[in-house]
Amino acid sequence: MTFPSDNIPRSRAVALRDALPPVMARALLALALAVALLAAQIGAALARAAPESFADLAEQVSPAVVNITTATMVSAPTGPQDMFPEGSPFEDFFRDLMPPGPDGEGGPAPRSRRSQALGSGFVISEDGYIVTNNHVIDGADEIKIEFYSGALLDAELVGTDPKTDIALLKVESDEPLPFVSFGDSEAMRVGDWVMAMGNPLGQGFSVSAGIVSARGRALSGTYDDYIQTDAAINRGNSGGPLFNMSGEVIGVNTAILSPNGGSIGIGFAMSSNVVTQVVDQLQEYGETRRGWLGVRIQDVTPDVAEAMGLEEARGALVTDVPEGPAAEAGMEAGDLITSFDGREVEDTRSLVRQVGNTAVGKSVRVVVLRDGKTRTLDVTLARREEAEATAIPASAPADQPAEEEVLGLTLTPMTDELREQLALPGNIDGLVVRGVAEDAEAYEKGLRAGDVITEAGQQKVASVEDLEARIEEAREAGRSSLLLLVNRGGDPRFVAIGVDEAE
Query: Would you please indicate which residues are annotated as catalytic (active-site) residues?
Result: 135, 165, 238
Beta strands, E only, 93-151: 111-123, 129-133, 142-146
User: Which residue, among 199, 192, 156, 181, has the nearest Cα to 60 in the 3D structure?
Assistant: 181
Measured at the alpha carbon of residue 340, what is the angle toward residues 338 and 346, in degrees to the nearest 5? 45
Which of 441-465 are b and which e, b meaning 16 or more Cβ less than 10 Å from the residue's Cβ? bbeebebeebbbbbbbbbeebebbe
Around 247, how many Cα atoms within 13 Å sit in the side-chain half-sphere? 16
Residues 6+ apart with CB under 8 A from 478: none
Looking only at Cα atoms, what is the longest distance across the chain?
A: 128
Spatial distance between the Cα atoms of 293 and 170, rounded to a whole number of angstroms? 33
Residues 6+ apart with CB under 8 A from 346: 314, 315
What are 475's strand-pairing partners?
A: none
What are the residue ranges of helices labelled H in 160-308?
Answer: 272-285, 302-308
Around 71, how many Cα atoms within 13 Å sit in the side-chain half-sphere? 8
Residues 6+ apart with CB under 8 A from 406: 464, 467, 468, 471, 502
User: Which residue, among 375, 300, 312, has the nearest Cα to 339 in the 3D structure?
Assistant: 375
**Backbone torsions φ then ψ of 162, nearest 5 degrees:** -60, -25
Cβ neighbours around 289 below 10 Å, total: 16
Spatial distance between the Cα atoms of 128 and 375, rounded to a whole number of angstroms? 49
Q: In terms of C-beta density within 10 A (0-12 exposed, 13-18 middle, 19 or more buried), how is residue 408 classed?
A: buried
Which of 3-20 are b and which e, b meaning 16 or more Cβ less than 10 Å from the residue's Cβ? eeeeeeeeeeeeeeeeee
In Å, how far are 51, 195, 238, 248, 472 from 208, measured between CA atoms?
Answer: 13, 6, 14, 15, 63
Asked whether the beta carbons of 173 and 128 are under 8 A apart, the reply is yes
Spatial distance between the Cα atoms of 96 and 80, rounded to a whole number of angstroms? 10
